[in-house]
Amino acid sequence: MAKLFLIGNHRPSFALARTLHRQGHEIWAGHNGYCDYFERSNSVAGSLAIPDFSNESLCIRTIAEYCEDYGFDVIVPVTDRATRLLAGYRAALPKSVTVMSPDPDVIARCVSKTRMAELCRQENVPLADFLPVANLSQLRRACESLGYPLVVKPTGEGQFIFGQKVITLNTPAELADLFPAWPGEHAHLLVQRRLNGNRINHYFVAWGGDILTACAIEIERTDRADGSGYAVEGISITPRPDLVEHTEALVEALDYTGVGCAQFMTAHDSDETSFLEINPRLGANIAGAEAAGSDIASVLFELMMGRDIALAEDPWTKARTGVRYHWAKGDFSGWVWRMRNGASLGESITGALRLLRGLIRSNVDLVFSWRDPAPALACWLHPVLRRVRNREDAGQRGVKAPN
């Protein structure tokens, strides 16, 4: 039995923890803010507070001390920030602890848009035309040059533009409306031609550039009407041969070892595709891949513990097709956001019906489980729990709590 410490927890934590807990391993949660109430899961033996990731030296020192004090065998960074933090400070951790993530150099390459673009050119992986911009006038010229529809996105991982992961622009009028000024927190942005199809994610575990197991999932809906934002509904599919070839080429070129998620955009009206990124961590919707039978959590654990793993003749056929996942809380939150931001009555009704359909036809939810309901229930009650916590904290300090 191993003792694992999951850090930066969010919805991917549940699939990993539930699988490894069933195998007899002990799971602990490291938390420093809202984390989908992962610490309330019955798969979690205990939880420990860690400092905010912005204070890197204190955070890594605290994690190292916990490893010594609690005897953790494995650290699993879950979110982008946790992954980057532990990649940069592995030498500060006890040598007896295994960090369940790719090599720091691989992580650095994956999160660099320019380095991955160069790798795509080297490996003949399609990439939609894009231009970097540094001010509003350059943004306008880039839009004119590339042609609509377009997406505008940050150059760094985990960043947002006006509170959104990506902004879709279909017309010059939308550019003027959505970008009245340059977002001051960004030195650069990327403008890229947008394909009109769905996103396809490849969840995988690799060893030395060879994929051990993989699952292809088509993202059918997100929490935003334009298809940007967080995925809320998807289905496991038969992998497209061309996208399999592209993922395998990139994984091999990176000499990738560990877990990852390669993402591609497709077109509804052609076979055109475009590489988006490889996330060097657990994919946010990995519960869908686990439900399809990919065994990503188990294979990853065995790999990171240095145990022998037999190479499958075709790692892409292990997962079943037609398995649907749904993220009910994210779907509901997106529906509320759209209503608050001008959705019509018809759009609101359609959104509610889609949410209901997702609940009915899904095989697995990213957070909720009938065997482990507490975290999902707490997520739904989060506004109430947050107010109660604020009032308790304020009462202890002798000040009035905000409503």
Tens of pLDDT, residue by residue over 297-319, are 999 999 988 888 877 789 999 99
Residue 286: which residues within 8 A CB-CB, separation 6 or more?
A: 12, 15, 16, 203, 261, 296, 297
Q: Which of 105-114, 170-179, 372-381, 382-391 shows the lowest per-residue confidence on average (mean pLDDT)?
A: 382-391
Task: Give me the percent of the chain exceeding a pLDDT of 70.
Answer: 96
Amino acid at 356: L
What is the reported pLDDT for 385? 74
Domain ranges of the chain: 3-101, 102-128+195-372, 129-193
CATH (residue range 3-101): 3.40.50.20
Instruction: Place 154 in a pLDDT band, splitting at 50, 70 and 90.
Output: confident
**What does pLDDT average to over the chain?**
91
Instruction: Place 270 in a pLDDT band, splitting at 50, 70 and 90.
Output: very high
**One fold for 102-128+195-372 and 129-193:** no
What is the reported pLDDT for 396? 52
Radius of gyration of the chain measured on its C-alpha atoms:
21
For the entire predicted model, the pTM comes to 0.91
What is the reported pLDDT for 400? 47
Q: Is the pLDDT of residue 238 over 70?
A: yes
CATH H-level, domain 129-193: superfamily: ATP-grasp fold, A domain (3.30.1490.20)
Q: State how far the alpha carbon of 253 is from the alpha carbons of 118, 249, 303, in Å.
A: 12, 6, 20
Count CB atoms within 10 A of the CB of residue 57: 10
Average pLDDT score over residue span 147-160: 84
What is the reported pLDDT for 59? 95
| Inter-axis angle of helices 113-123 and 241-253, nearest 10 | 120
CATH architecture for residues 102-128+195-372: 2-Layer Sandwich (3.30)
Q: Which DSSP string corresponds to 46-103?
A: EEEE---TTSHHHHHHHHHHHHHHHT-SEEEE-SHHHHHHHHH-GGGS-TTPEE-S--
